[in-house]
Structure 1
């Protein structure tokens, strides 16, 4: 048991350190190239933190479990909104710029609706994969276009381009590795205490695959860069549908269970529409109350997952 405890402790420490370095490096790159942190969040940070979902997708398809690839992407999108955005909003109020409300969030909603509609017949094939891949590219372009550069965290302006790129690469690599170590330790410890494997898979592992996004978003919030947090969530979710769905459909014919469509896809779509509605109905920001509500929704979703899987 001590081995699993050590893995959890090391994983948490490394995850915290690497997320901080990763965001610092991303902020430094944004400053050097006069790019908005929001755009950095929607591109470099989002694609980097979504690497686990891509790897899981490819491995799942090549090992004869393509439905796992789609399920993992959907679960990640749910966690990104409810956890990454929710926790970040509890730390610092996240302002939503006008172009986030008029371009980025609508692009995310559009690709989410398209992905859900294409999957609704329970089958994902190569034609669907091509359509989603193209749509994902268009959505990313629409979401990231036209954002002006903003202030970056204190200290980021002192980093050279080389040091920024070093922290970006080293931070991402360590972030992914530490998330994997933490999930392994927590899973093995839970099983050792007699927790059913299905519950472990639906909770610890489900949250674990989204740890890079959660850690990067929270680190952005802590460093005074909420735009990296919201950008990461939007970009990652677009990439998970436009990239992970596409990979699964292009490599194999994927059959999607009716329960997955009704429970998981609807939860993903509902949360996405909720964020868009809040952006327009509220004061153009996501505060602590909304953040706490998103976390509560995720807790309820995990309860539903466990109940419907036992």
Structure 2
């Protein structure tokens, strides 16, 4: 690549990052407006619509590699993307806010224990499936999908709020 082409790729990369940030901000603000219009907690919208929407690309990637017979890669993608989201997606903005604002950040943790418990139980369930035959069957996949459906119902009915 020539110098001009390389600069345009770098510029496009940073413009893309800026656009992703801007669109993400607008998406979250509109989710709050949506929640207010329906008179429901924004947490419900975040745990259902936003969470599902941001996971769709990971879902497609996992389905593609699973169909290629790379189940371990599909699981690694699912687990790895969530670890990245938590550690970098939360950690980096909080670090930047702490550096810029120079004050502590309040993090609402009222319902964190229930969400952490459900996450832990889901991980245990996944490992049970993996260690009982090293294959995740269609039936076990449906159990995981049903568990997610149960989580959504529990959250909407107020169990997680």
* Cross-structure match for 2:41: 36
Q: Which structure has the bigger radius of gyration?
A: 2
TM-score, reference length from structure 1: 0.43
- Deviation at residue 56 of structure 1 after TM alignment: 0.5
Asked if 2 retains the 8 angstrom alpha-carbon contact of 1:26 and 1:40, the reply is yes
Compute the RMSD of aligned alpha carbons. Answer: 2.4
Superposition deviation, residue 86 in structure 1: 2.4
TM-score, L = length of structure 2: 0.78
Rounded to whole Å, the distance in 1 between the matches of 2:123 and 2:40 is 26
Structure 1: state its 5+ residue gaps: 150-310
State the 1:88 CA deviation.
Answer: 4.7
Change (3 A) 1:94 1:87: farther
Partner of 1:50: 55
Q: Equivalents in 2 of 1:102, 1:146: separation in Å?
A: 14
- Superposition map of 1:1-310 within 5 A: 1-90=6-95, 91=97, 92-97=105-110, 100-121=111-132, 122-146=134-158
**Larger relative CO (CA 8 A, sep 6+): 1 or 2?**
1
Change beyond 3 A, Cα 1:83–1:144: farther
Q: Does the residue aligned with 2:11 lie in a helix, a strand or coil?
A: helix
Q: What runs of 5+ residues in structure 2 fail to find an aligned partner?
A: 1-5, 98-104
Aligned positions, number = 147
Check whether the contact 2:62–2:74 (CA below 8 A) recurs between aligned residues. Answer: yes
CA distance in structure 1 between the aligned counterparts of 2:9 and 2:138, rounded to whole angstroms: 41
State the distance in 2 between where 1:102 and 1:70 align: 24
